[in-house]
Amino acid sequence: MSRKGFDLFDLIKKVLFTDFVKGLTVTLGYNISKSITMRYPDEEKWIPYRRFRGLHTLNRDENGRELCVACELCSKACPTGCITVIPEENDSGRGIADRVAKVWTVNLVRCLFCGYCEDACPTRALRLGREYELACADYSCTLMSRDQLLVPQPVPESIPGGYVVKSKLERTPQGIKVTVDLSKFKKRSI
């Protein structure tokens, strides 16, 4: 409103509280609109895209041999130095070469999920998967070893991801677990 002129229209607007009513209609619209909250973990769970960088996974080739050749490049590339690799000689056909990892551990407390290790890997043995439920009540889960990482992750590589699936929270004496049903999926409501 200009300082000198007397704006009748503005006065009428003020008296009738038009701006106030406009604001109220906006909030009322939101009030009756559907909520965008994802009901994780009770009902829904977000399945990330393939590009997501979650928990490390060690892959095998189609014959079930470990792809990891224990070259230690991942360990060298790691900016936080959280990957420990100790190689060993093994020609029993466990890996694709004679050289396999005796120890391959990643310290998840230090890891910043930058993905350099994934880039450095010459055999595509190491990938950052789509598992992101990494919390635990003690230190037991902060150090992930080779045996645990060799187990295929619940979300297979073939699924493109980027949608919401049905899930359920299960309470067991060992702890809580989120089980997902990957068969039915829907887009995220935004």
Q: Does 36 bind other proteins (CB under 8 A)?
A: yes
Among positions 4, 5, 6, 27, the unique one binding other proteins when judged by CB under 8 A: 27
Q: Bridge partners of 128?
A: 56
Residue with tokens 């009738």: 16
| Residue among 19 and 88 whose Cβ is closer to other proteins | 19
C-alpha span between 44 and 19 (Å, rounded): 39
Q: Does 187 bind other proteins (CB under 8 A)?
A: no
Q: Does 6 bind other proteins (CB under 8 A)?
A: no
- At its nearest, how many Å lie between other proteins and the CB of residue 17? 8
Stretch that binds other proteins, among 20-28, 52-60, 116-124, 134-142 (CB under 8 A): 20-28
Q: Does 3 bind other proteins (CB under 8 A)?
A: no
Burial (0-12, 13-18, 19+ Cβ within 10 Å), 30: exposed
Burial (0-12, 13-18, 19+ Cβ within 10 Å), 147: exposed
Q: What is the DSSP letter of 66?
A: B
H-helix or E-strand spanning residue 152: none
Question: On the CB side of 51, how many CA atoms lie within 13 Å of its CA?
Answer: 1
Q: Does 37 bind other proteins (CB under 8 A)?
A: yes
| Residue among 39 and 110 whose Cβ is closer to other proteins | 39
Per the structure block, which two tokens stand in for 164?
Answer: 């919401």
User: For the window 39-78, what string marks contact with other proteins as x by the rule CB under 8 A?
Assistant: x--x------------------------------------
Q: What does the binding site for other proteins look like in residue numbers (CB under 8 A)?
A: 17, 20, 23-24, 26-28, 30-33, 35-37, 39, 42
